[in-house]
Amino acid sequence: MASAPAPSEAPADLAGVTRSPVDGHAVVETREVSKVYHMGDVEVQALKGVSLTVERGEFVAIMGASGSGKSTLMGILGCLDRPTSGTYLLDGEDVSELDRDELAWVRNQRIGFVFQSFNLLPRMTALKNVALPLLYSPEDLEGDETPEERALAALETVGLAERVHHRPKELSGGQQQRVAMARALVNRPAIILADEPTGNLDSRSGQEIMAILDGLNRQGVTMVVVTHEDDIAAWARRVVRLHDGEIVLDEVRR
């Protein structure tokens, strides 16, 4: 295994960007989670009894061959989907039985997503893209703070304060992914889930993105990153490997 790169320069101070820690329970705790997809008469067992605990402040890489269940697991961890059986406690709360509306609320409040394809709205500026999640939960703002002020603070955290009025197509891939990271941060999630966040980037931009995720993690943000690249996984302090829907390796690194 490749050794972890030297710590990067930390991004701007995250004071007020992370939620204060809640003691006593893990951020993620799955117990014997299984997922079965039905395709006509065929059953696909995408996850087979996955029990995974992620404590606050961890930085976990999830690895495994194509089809091993990584995205299925991320979908469940991110409350985009529910397990067929088993339980999932997010931040101490059982979310395995919530309905669609309740899951949408939990996603907005507790989870920051970063996707391979950035998923930014093309007509909106970076600032508006980042402020968007706040429109669904204005009560998250403090005092007379505006969504734009909170969004600007998140963009500063990812080092993009001078690009706030640019639209996605006026930004490089790495910059677009930084906007997506600011959007993921803006609601002060309990966890950031990133599914192949560097998959569409050249290796240098990919390393820059990982350096920012690393800096956020060092300031307390819990991080789970799916990747199939060793030099991306090298940033994590723990590697979980899936094979055919089962955890076959769970290794803590120095």
Residues in contact with Mg ion by the rule CB under 5 A: 70-71
Nearer to ligand ADP, 69 or 168 (CB): 69
What's the min distance (Å) between Cβ of 61 and ligand ADP?
A: 13
Q: Please choose which of Mg ion, ligand ADP, none residue 39 contacts, taking the beta carbon within 5 to 8 angstroms, the exact cut-off set by kind.
A: ligand ADP
**Which among 209, 224, 143, 141 has a CA at the least distance from the CA of 175?**
209
- In this structure, the number of other CB atoms found within 10 A of the CB of residue 204 comes to 9
Nearer to Mg ion, 36 or 124 (CB): 36
Residue number, nearest CB to Mg ion: 71
Chain residues that interact with ligand ADP, rule: CB under 6 A: 37, 39, 44, 46, 64, 66-72
3-class secondary structure, 69: coil
Measured CA to CA, the distance from residue 183 to residue 115 in angstroms comes to 11
Nearer to Mg ion, 70 or 110 (CB): 70
Q: Please choose which of ligand ADP, Mg ion, none residue 3 contacts, taking the beta carbon within 5 to 8 angstroms, the exact cut-off set by kind.
A: none
Q: Please choose which of ligand ADP, Mg ion, none residue 20 contacts, taking the beta carbon within 5 to 8 angstroms, the exact cut-off set by kind.
A: none
What's the min distance (Å) between Cβ of 225 and ligand ADP?
A: 13
Q: Please choose which of Mg ion, ligand ADP, none residue 67 contacts, taking the beta carbon within 5 to 8 angstroms, the exact cut-off set by kind.
A: ligand ADP
- Structure tokens given for 102: 């309740």
Nearer to ligand ADP, 68 or 129 (CB): 68
Residue 154 has phi, psi (to 5 degrees) of -65, -40
CB 252 within 8 A of CB 88: no
Task: Say which DSSP state 27 is in.
Answer: S
Nearer to ligand ADP, 77 or 126 (CB): 77
Q: Please choose which of ligand ADP, Mg ion, none residue 69 contacts, taking the beta carbon within 5 to 8 angstroms, the exact cut-off set by kind.
A: ligand ADP
- Kind and range of the H or E run holding 43: strand 42-54
Burial (CB count <10 Å: 0-12, 13-18, 19+), residue 7: exposed
Nearer to ligand ADP, 10 or 80 (CB): 80
Question: Could you tell me the maximum CA-CA distance found in the chain, to the nearest angstrom?
Answer: 56
Nearer to ligand ADP, 199 or 220 (CB): 199
What's the min distance (Å) between Cβ of 39 and ligand ADP?
A: 5
Q: Please choose which of Mg ion, ligand ADP, none residue 183 contacts, taking the beta carbon within 5 to 8 angstroms, the exact cut-off set by kind.
A: none
- The DSSP result for 91-140, as a single string, is TTEE-TT--HHHHHHHHHHHEEEEETT----TTS-HHHHHHHHHHT-GGG
What's the min distance (Å) between Cβ of 70 and Mg ion?
A: 5
Q: Please choose which of Mg ion, ligand ADP, none residue 133 contacts, taking the beta carbon within 5 to 8 angstroms, the exact cut-off set by kind.
A: none
What's the min distance (Å) between Cβ of 59 and ligand ADP?
A: 20
Task: Say which DSSP state 67 is in.
Answer: T
Measured CA to CA, the distance from residue 78 to residue 157 in angstroms comes to 23
